[in-house]
Amino acid sequence: MNYLLNASHDAWFNMAFDEFCLERYPCDEPFFYLWRNSPSVIIGFNQNAYSEVNLQYLDANGIRLARRVTGGGAVYHDLQNINYTIIGRNISPEPFADALRRIGVDAVLSGRNDILVGGRKVSGYARRLGSRREIIHGTLMYDVDIDTLSRVLDTPESKLHAKGVASVRSRVMNLREELPGIRSVVELQALLQEILSDAGGRCMEFDDAMLREVQRLSDTKFSTWDWIFGRSGAAGFRRRAKFACGTVELGLDLDHGRISHISFNGDFIGKLPSETMCDRLRGVRYDEQSVLSALEGTDPSMVFSGMTARELAGFILGNL
């Protein structure tokens, strides 16, 4: 197959690169490219960011959140993970699985969207039909940090929350275990590049005008709140905590990244009813800056005796 080179490690740029290549790159034959991301969580096109990802952990550890153009579940990428993209008509992930077999890995396509080695997952992939052709893209775990992978996807609603890191380790594996002769992820990427482009594949041009358009897509779509969070459907949260004023129970519903319903219950004390806070918060984006802005000029201690606006925002956002 012919191929492109993409040296970017920016998840937002790379999501834009995928969309540009699917819809606009001028090539009638199937082509591929390999790429990597700095630590990032990539959620599926239809997923709710708030219920699928531990956003507090991402914020605290500088891990980027991105949304891709294909369906499927949330995945964690770091620089020890290789991603592959194949674009064309009537395409399959089979060439990638075959490339793994050619380097000595017993890889099989299995289930809905997995590549397994010895019954354990080393790769997941997703697909989308564009206006005139199809995209398949997926991961390949070489030496990914499994602990971080587990933490970023560990929410109270998730299966991981109950099963923990040990369960994750039993179901997934890094290929480094199977490839003692390969010294680095860079070496593995170069080898896969060579195999996939075998039989006359050539490196195709990606000019400066194309790069500028990909960057524009990254800046105006893939890095925006509307794309990453605003596409999230309805989600509900219930939590409780003890404060100086007493126990506060929060009921919170989100729709497309905004607070659609919020209520407070409990044995807390204050001089004003909690509805005065709720009225200010409905319709507000569910992020720290927006919630704090909505609370500006209010005195939460009048509702929750002794509580500051920052404490209330932290409780609402699950940061306490």
**Claim: this prediction has a pTM higher than 0.85:** no
Q: What is the pLDDT of residue 162?
A: 36
According to the model, what pLDDT value does residue 156 have?
Answer: 56
Q: What is the pLDDT of residue 200?
A: 80
Q: Which of 61, 63, 67, 64 is nearest to 49 (CA)?
A: 67
Give 191's contacts (C-beta < 8 A, 6+ positions apart): 103, 182
Cα separations (Å) of 44 from 127, 167, 183, 271?
A: 11, 22, 32, 45
Structure tokens at 135: 């995209």
Q: Which amino acid is residue 71, in one-letter code?
A: G
Question: Average pLDDT for consecutive 10-residue bins of the chain (320 residues)?
Answer: 97 98 95 98 90 90 95 93 96 94 92 85 91 94 94 66 39 88 96 91 96 98 95 85 92 92 91 90 94 94 93 87
Looking at 3.50.50.60, 2.120.10.30, 3.30.930.10, 1.10.3470.10, the CATH number of the domain 2-228 comes to 3.30.930.10
Give the residue extent of every domain in the chain.
2-228, 235-316
Q: Which residues of 118-139 are buried (b: 16+ CB within 10 A; e: fewer)?
A: eeebbbbbbbbeeeebbbbbbb
Topology of 235-316 in CATH?
Enolase-like; domain 1 (3.30.390)
* CB neighbours of residue 211 within 10 Å: 15
